[in-house]
Amino acid sequence: MAVLTIARELGSIGDGEELVLCNKLNLHCINKATLEARFQELGIERKVFERFDECHPGFASFFSTSSRSYWESLRAVLLKELLTGNVAIVGRGGNFLMRNLVDCFRIRLVAPLEQRVSRLCIERDCSEAEALKAIRQSDSSREKFCRFYYGADWHDPLAYDMVINTAEVSLEKIAEFLPALLPPAAEGARKEQLECAVREQLIRHAIFSAWNYHPMAIEVKCLPDGTVTLQGSVHSAEASEHCEQIVKSMPGVTVVNNELFVVSVDFEMPMM
């Protein structure tokens, strides 16, 4: 299982060329089209995906059900795709999500502004002013997306293993030298760690989707033998039982240790 993450500035490559690159590298391309399909399989409305994909949700929106649904679904989809084989994650802060989780090679594709504008004018049949506006909006959205969800700087060159200027290095050339740089597949304890991380996120997603809990209130810990421990707080004994039953129904789960505690939200105002 080779894993590549591709961050790209709008206009640094042509529309759809990330798929061409992935095909040359024999990697399954996880791009917008893939994510849209996976979100539909999870029952997430398309408008939710379009509203939040690679965009800063805003402080108020982050605490809405739709925003949390997008975030938990995105993590579940991306992590689950890792188990399918050789993959390339395009955008969505994949380099930050994969950090400390799996060995991968992280690239960022950039190009001079004038080339980005020229390419976009041709692709979208628009004016230079319109192309420049689209590029600035895209750069801002992707920067804020990574800052908000990962607390990371999208522009930081140290967040990548290689920054490539596509004005100087063609995709054909990239496809020639990248295979030698991709790390080997995870094995042994590292693979078990990855499988546990995937299971933890799928459980978090299932709990949130079924009950609309804030996932951060519940911590999920998985062991390679299928043991799952739930920690954190819920608002009722019924909720605690519901969470436990959801986890028991998940594939690969053998034992559930329910350590959730009930926190009542009812309180009386103090006498003045």
Residue 269 lies in a domain: no
Provide, rounded to the nearest whole percent, the portion of the chain with pLDDT above 70.
Answer: 91
| CA gap 100, 78 in Å, rounded | 15
**Residue 124 to residue 194: CA distance in whole angstroms:** 40
Query: What CATH number should be reported for the domain holding residue 108?
Result: 3.40.50.300
Domain that holds residue 196: 188-262
**Based on the domain organization, do 154 and 211 belong to the same domain?**
no
Structural domains of the chain, count: 2
231 and 118, same domain (yes or no): no
Domain presence at residue 268: no
Within this chain, do residues 165 and 253 fall inside the same structural domain, yes or no? no
Is this structure's pTM higher than 0.85?
A: no
Residues 201 and 72 reside in one and the same domain:
no
Please give the pLDDT value at position 139: 95
| Distance (Å) of CA 162 to CA 159, 177, 271 | 9, 12, 63
Counting beta carbons within 10 angstroms of the beta carbon of residue 267, is it exposed (0 to 12), middle (13 to 18) or buried (19 or more)?
exposed
- Rounded distance, CA 166 to CA 169, Å? 5
**93 occurs within a structural domain:** yes
Identify which of 9, 10, 51, 2 has the alpha carbon closest to the alpha carbon of residue 27. Answer: 2
Q: Which of 69, 31, 33 is nearest to 52 (CA)?
A: 69
How many CB atoms lie under 10 A from the CB of residue 70?
A: 24
The strand pair at 105-110 and 162-165 is best described as: parallel
Q: What is the pLDDT of residues 85-112, one digit of tens each?
A: 789 999 999 999 988 778 899 999 999 9
Domain assignment of residue 23, yes or no: yes
Among 138, 155, 180, give the residue marking a domain's end. Answer: 180
Q: Provide CB contacts within 8 A for 228, sequence distance 6+.
A: 199, 203, 220, 221, 222, 247, 250, 253, 255, 256, 257
Question: Do 145 and 56 fall within a single domain?
Answer: yes
CB 56 within 8 A of CB 141: yes
The pLDDT of residue 84: 80
- Residues in the chain, total: 272
Lowest mean pLDDT among 67-81, 170-184, 222-236: 67-81
| Same domain (yes/no): 65, 168 | yes
Residue 69 CA to residue 64 CA, distance in Å, equals 9
Residue 106 lies in a domain: yes
If asked whether residues 201 and 103 sit together in one domain, one would say: no
| Average pLDDT of the segment spanning 235-263 | 90
Burial class (CB in 10 A: 0-12, 13-18, 19+), 42: middle
